[in-house]
Amino acid sequence: MNKGGKLIIFSAPSGSGKTTIVRHLLDKFDGLAFSVSACTRKRREGEIDGRDYYFLDTDLFNEKIENNEFVEYEEVYPGNFYGTLKSEIDRLWDMGKHVLFDIDVEGGLNIKKQYMDKALSVFVKPASIEVLKERLHNRSTETPEQLEVRLNKAVSELRYENQFDCILINADLKMAFTEAETLVSNFTGLESKD
């Protein structure tokens, strides 16, 4: 088992742009691979099991918890569990890749605590709460009640930003891409494709 890889953790409140930044980095660097999280929530239209998430029912998720198969997990929203399987990190390291995470704030901090210097934790911060609210509203993926839950969670998650190795402010997406590329290059030694 190759334990030489590194972990790059992008965490942020929902709607901060972390997924867009992570997708950009995967396009720019051959040596990165995306860590697919497991979850119990319903699959959204267009999502594919094993690519977007490993969609598990609650019983199977709980079984994996009991078998100590997760690096981290939590009930992110009532009834919706998310987690990172140890087997997923090992699978990507065995491929010779550095592992890239798009993960909630608590999950990101838990991974950082376990892997310490092998992990770089990046907090993606929205330009403002107003911008965050607008992004979440424009997604149109949640009911008004779900949107309110996400927004309240986002506000509380912003308090954790100083526990991360670095803060990336996503006010201008092009600048955020450039800063994220620099962080990855400096931490892994990888060079971007162009």
Domain ranges of the chain: 7-188
1 has a pLDDT exceeding 50: no
Q: CA of 103: how far to CAs of 110, 143, 169, in Å?
A: 11, 22, 17
> pLDDT tens, 144-172?
887 787 788 888 888 999 999 999 999 89
Which fold is adopted by the domain 7-188? Rossmann fold (3.40.50)
Contact 4, 98 (CB under 8 A): no
Q: Look up the pTM and report it.
A: 0.86
* CA 157 – CA 34 distance, rounded (Å): 23
Higher pLDDT, 65 or 13: 65
| Residue with token string 């509203």 | 137
Q: Mean pLDDT, to the nearest integer, of 12-18? A: 85
Of the ranges 46-50, 80-84, 147-151, 166-170, which one carries the lowest mean pLDDT score? 147-151
